[in-house]
Amino acid sequence: MLSNALLLSGSVALISGASSGIGAATARALAGHGAAVALVARRADRLDTLAAEIRSAGQVAEAFAADITSDGQAAALIARVTDRFGRLDTLVNAAGVMLIGPATDAPLSEWQRSIDLNVSALLGLTHAALPPLTQAAQTSPRKVSDIVNISSVAGRQAVGGAAVYSASKFAVTAFSEALRQELAQQHVRVSSVEPGAVATELTHHIRDGIREHSESWYASMETLQADDVADTIAYIVTRPRHVAINQILVRPTEQA
């Protein structure tokens, strides 16, 4: 029986949003289970630092700087990854933004950015990854592949002051479930992870006057850490072929 460190040996995992937060933590976790990890984000310097860290631990990592919201970037990225590694077994869509605030007077550009990254980029990357993921489920020793989409508790219960963010995460949850039904018989598992409050850079991008309130709310509790969500993702993708974890809601104990 394989040890935990080898459960993903020989597999390749692509993680978007890997320059920080949940994406970076997930890359470390999956590499620790033996996967070769393809690190994807716009910030090349951070990706290079993370790749060097993972390689220093004797694991396999490669940085792929890309803006997955740009037309054509998703397909080109998947081609680069499969050219480099020869396969793709796991896709973790962790890239996202949380641009919250009242709808009145909200910049329309924030709404568009939320849809572009949280929804459109996720759809584009998933679409491009389906052929190699389907092939991996047929040909890999594990005979299974995985898509893990990071949704949110806001994708389960709409929240005032976060209308478009909630809408984007509802879309992720719905897409994940519908795609799961389509791919189940091919052993391409599709999962959505719905975190509550996590200590990441998400709050840093909220506009002035709203960010302070959000940070105060985060400070009122012992939040999740990125590693907690990464552990959840690692649990999902290391299950045996016949076990699918379709949806997980994970919140800080203190979050009501």
Tell me the pLDDT tens digit for each residue of 86-132. 999 999 999 999 888 899 989 999 999 999 999 999 999 999 999 99
Of 43-47, 101-105, 135-139, 185-189, the poorest mean pLDDT is in 101-105
Q: Classify residue 126: in a domain, yes or no.
A: yes
> Is position 256 within any domain?
no
Contacting residues for 207 by C-beta, under 8 A, at least 6 apart: 99, 101, 107, 110
Distance (Å, rounded) from C-alpha 136 to C-alpha 189? 12
Q: Is the pLDDT of residue 226 over 60?
A: yes
Whether 165 is a known active-site residue: answer yes
- What range does the domain containing 51 cover? 4-250
In the structure encoding, which two tokens stand for residue 68, read together?
A: 């997955």
> Which CATH number belongs to the domain containing residue 219 in this structure?
3.40.50.720
Tally of domains within the chain: 1
Residue 193 pLDDT > 50: yes
Residue 255 counted as domain residue:
no
Instruction: Check residue 1 and give its pLDDT.
Output: 37
Q: Which of 3-17, 23-37, 153-167, 187-201 has the highest mean pLDDT?
A: 23-37
Closest by CA to 37, choosing from 15, 8, 57, 70, is: 15
Q: What integer pLDDT is reported at residue 5 of this predicted model?
A: 53
In a domain, 112, yes or no: yes
At 3 the pLDDT is 47
Indicate the angle between helix axes 108-115 and 163-183, nearest 10 degrees. 20
Q: Identify the residue with better confidence: 200 or 95.
A: 95
Q: Tell me the pLDDT of the chain averaged across its residues.
A: 94
Q: Is the model's pLDDT at 242 over the cut of 90?
A: yes
Percent pLDDT > 90 in the chain is: 84
One DSSP character per residue, 72-138 reads THHHHHHHHHHHHHS---EEEE-------S-STT--HHHHHHHHIIIIIIHHHHHHHHHHHHHHHHH
Q: What beta strand segments (E) does the chain contain? A: 12-16, 36-41, 61-65, 90-93, 145-150, 188-195, 198-199, 224-225, 247-250
φ, ψ at 51 (rounded to 5°): -60, -40
**Is 74:124 a contact under the CB 8 Å cutoff?**
yes
Q: Residue 51 falls within a domain, yes or no?
A: yes
pLDDT in tens, 133-163: 999 999 999 999 999 999 999 999 998 999 9
15 falls within a domain: yes
pTM for the whole thing? 0.93
DSSP 8-state secondary structure symbol assigned to residue 148: E
Assigned domain for 99 exists:
yes
146, 148, 149, 165: the catalytic one is: 165
Tokens (6 digits) for 21: 């937060």
